[in-house]
Amino acid sequence: MTTRLGFGAAPIGNLYREVSEEDARAVLEEAWAGGVRSYDTAPHYGLGLSERRLGAFLRERPRDSFRLSTKAGRLIVPNTGPRRGTDEAAGGFLVPDDHVRHWDPSAEGIRRGLDASLERLGMDRVDTLLLHDPDVYGLDEGLRQGLPALAGLREAGVVEEIGIGVNSVAAALRAVREGDLDVVMIAGRYTLLEQPAAEELLPLCRERGIRVLAAAVFNSGLLASDTPATAHYDYGPVPPALAERTERLRKVCARFDVPLAAAALRFPLRHPAVDQVVVGTAHPAELRADLRHLDMEIPAALWEALREEGLLS
């Protein structure tokens, strides 16, 4: 069993492309066979598709043999407005837009969201519940209402852990300072490409005993792709400066015969505040590569060379 790698289930919610039921199950089977026992999903991912697929797979496993997290703050409700046919423009997922996301961080909204997630998952509980992207809709309202609502569920024994899942370091910092969190999932902000979380967020989490989950460690695929021009960065096109920086990283890694993706996967785990990296894929071969990279011996000289090149602080 591997404890330092978690499976992020956004891709099996049809992120960027359609994924068949068979392919979704195949990558989950690969993760399980490789010892992965930590799984993260969200209502946002494919308007519930990710939760349904992940739940169908995990229901066949003993409940105490894995850890499961999902997110709250955005309810999935029927779409009563104009439709484009798919959710791709609104959320990036190739699923029918017969539902939409409705922001509701109130105690009632958080509980309704959790209940709906449990129904889609077919589970009686999740281990961890994260407030999802409050900075996207309203950070003040999200933290003021959402964090106490999560704390109430933890105190009632409904969930074991609570936290926040964001792409924004500033939002995560506010949540840590204003709430009583167990977990921070920070996506794309502590990677081999960029490390803004290192200045304040990671030290503060370590000081307060908050588990940090480093998600999107490939920056939406950029650090795992051999063709940066067609890759994604933060779910969008790659800025030219970051494409150039990625190639510099790749060249340094090549000097040590280390794949860029391996260095990208392992880098966040070097920080003592980071408990786990969370990777998402719908390709079994990519998942196998991630597991190999997790066990790869990477020379300390590589990290020093990256610092000398000004690519790491």
| Active site amino acids | 45
- Between CA 313 and CA 255 the distance in angstroms is 20
Residue given tokens 């999902």 in the structure block: 70
| Contact call for residues 246 and 222 (beta carbons, < 8 A) | yes
Work out the number of other CB atoms within 10 angstroms of the CB of residue 246: 22
What are the structure tokens assigned to 45, written together?
Answer: 């991912």
245: nearest Cα among 306, 201, 289, 198 = 306
Q: In the 8-state DSSP scheme, what is residue 186?
A: E
Give the bridge partners for 129, in sequence order. Answer: 70, 162
**Helix, strand or coil for residue 13?**
helix
What are the structure tokens assigned to 224, written together?
Answer: 């795992």
